[in-house]
């Protein structure tokens, strides 16, 4: 019950002799309790950093948890295995079990929820320290896992992936928003594959299609966007001022695919990509090709407007002059609390193109106005 304050995460935990014994990782303010990480992997990483060497970190994209033996028995653990593990590791009170497996990851199709890890590469494993040591030293290689599933033992071979390969090191600023590739942390939290383009901030353009923060973009204008490079390439091929379909899903409902129309208006913001320099920690920005202006000019068109019933004859006279206004504000200025407004408008001069509306529909003079006629 150390009761550490907020902002101390990552700080060393010292004993009475001044030696670091753990790393502060979180806490509960109501209980005045803190949670610490052991220093096993931290010491390893520190030694590699001192020698100016990369710190390899491996993953099989599976979430494991340490369970006591009584819970493992409910999962079907054989008593002979429990007896052997207790004799080999007398200080341990349990073993590792698979809690979840990420779709399309290295362990997908090989491991299942409830599998009990018995050995890796022929070596018995009962804790995270040994498990992480094996995965970190076998990045890019295959490891042999012996797991107990139900009432039978299985041997599975899984490739160890470099966790840096699924850790975002770049992002794209587009239309006032920010997108990056789906991180391993996001994928694990929501049980989705660690692929795709994640909307960190919707901005002016993506919000026009209601692709808010927490969405994963799958395609733009019919072009698939499995990664950030493909997203930037697909977006640069669009035309400024055009309207294109965008396909995405929300992390809250990953199985509900949404298709909406996105207004491509990039003249308000620059489009650029930021890449993190792994050595200096700085972000290097590079301008990207923005959508070009559409060469097509707007031509007058005739719209058919339905007539109102005879009982509404007075309203029928002004009905053709009523339009729908959709106002999108690219910046939150002049005390604005929202960026999108919807309301009616009235055509007062068709030759000059004058439309009158209230200030609740178009509150300021900076923005894009979309008019729906008929």
DSSP alpha helix (H) spans, 51-127: 69-74, 79-88
Domain boundaries, the chain: 12-50, 58-163, 167-292, 310-372
Torsion, Cα 296 325 362 308, to 10 degrees, reads 140
Burial 50-61 (b: 16+ CB within 10 A, else e): eeeeeebbbbbb
CA distance 75 to 98: 11
pLDDT of residue 266: 84
pLDDT of residue 3: 59
Kindly state the tokens that stand for 296: 């097509």
SS3 content of the chain, % helix, strand, coil (to 5): 20, 40, 40
Is it true that 58-163 and 167-292 share their CATH fold?
yes
CA distance 212 to 246: 12
Residues of the chain scoring pLDDT < 70: 1-6
Non-local CB neighbours of 84 within 8 Å, separated by 6+ positions: 124
pLDDT of residue 6: 64
Q: To the nearest whole percent, how much of the chain has pLDDT over 70?
A: 98
Kindly state the tokens that stand for 151: 């009432």
DSSP alpha helix (H) spans, the chain: 40-50, 69-74, 79-88, 128-136, 184-190, 203-206, 228-236, 313-318
CA distance 329 to 117: 54
58-163 topology per CATH: Pdz3 Domain (2.30.42)
CATH architecture of 167-292: Roll (2.30)
CA distance 257 to 249: 5
Tell me the three-class secondary structure of 4-31, residue by residue: CCCCCCCCEEECCCCCEEEEEEEEECCC
CA nearest neighbour of 373 among 185, 353, 224: 353
Residue keyed to tokens 């391993």: 184
**CA dist 108 to 135, 256, 339, 351, Å?**
16, 22, 42, 64
The answer to whether the Cα torsion of 197, 200, 206, 210 is positive or negative is: positive
CA distance 236 to 105: 30
Specify which residues 58 forms β-bridges with.
162
Kindly state the tokens that stand for 78: 């054989």
**CA dist 16 to 24, 48, 136, 319, Å?**
16, 28, 32, 82
CA distance 117 to 109: 16
pLDDT of residue 303: 75
pLDDT of residue 351: 87
């Amino acid at each position: 019950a150390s009761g550490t304050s907020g902002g101390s995460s990552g700080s060393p935990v010292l004993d009475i002799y001044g030696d670091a014994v753990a790393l502060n990782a979180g806490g509960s303010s109501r209980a005045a309790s803190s949670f610490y990480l052991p220093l096993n992997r931290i010491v390893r990483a520190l030694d590699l950093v001192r020698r100016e060497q990369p710190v390899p970190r491996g993953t099989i994209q599976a979430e494991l948890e340490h369970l006591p033996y009584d819970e493992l028995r409910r999962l079907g653990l054989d008593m002979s295995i429990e007896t052997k593990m207790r004799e080999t590791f007398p200080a341990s009170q349990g073993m590792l079990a698979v809690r979840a497996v990420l779709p399309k990851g290295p362990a997908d199709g090989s491991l299942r929820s409830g599998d009990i890890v018995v050995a890796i590469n022929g070596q018995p494993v009962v804790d995270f320290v040994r498990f992480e040591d094996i995965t970190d030293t076998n990045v890019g290689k295959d490891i042999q896992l012996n797991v107990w599933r139900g009432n039978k033992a299985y041997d599975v071979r899984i490739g160890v992936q470099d966790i840096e390969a699924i850790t975002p090191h770049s992002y794209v600023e587009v239309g006032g928003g920010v997108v990056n590739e789906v991180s391993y942390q996001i994928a694990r939290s929501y049980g989705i594959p660690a692929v795709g383009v994640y909307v960190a901030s919707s901005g002016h353009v993506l919000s026009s299609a209601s692709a808010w923060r927490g969405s994963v973009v799958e395609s733009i204008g019919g072009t698939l966007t499995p990664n950030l490079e493909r997203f930037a390439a697909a977006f640069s091929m669009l035309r400024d001022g055009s309207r294109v379909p965008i396909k995405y899903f929300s992390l809250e409902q990953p199985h509900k695919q949404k298709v909406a129309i996105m207004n491509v208006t990039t003249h308000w913001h620059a489009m650029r990509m930021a890449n993190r320099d792994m050595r200096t920690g700085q972000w290097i920005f590079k301008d990207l090709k923005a959508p070009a202006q559409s060469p097509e000019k707007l031509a007058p068109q005739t719209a058919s407007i339905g007539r109102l019933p005879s009982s509404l004859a007075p309203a029928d006279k002004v009905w053709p002059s009523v339009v729908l206004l959709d106002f999108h504000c690219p910046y939150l200025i002049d005390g604005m609390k929202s960026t999108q407004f919807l309301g009616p408008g009235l055509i007062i001069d068709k030759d000059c193109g004058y439309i009158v509306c209230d200030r609740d529909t178009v509150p300021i003079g900076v923005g894009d106005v979309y008019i729906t006629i008929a």
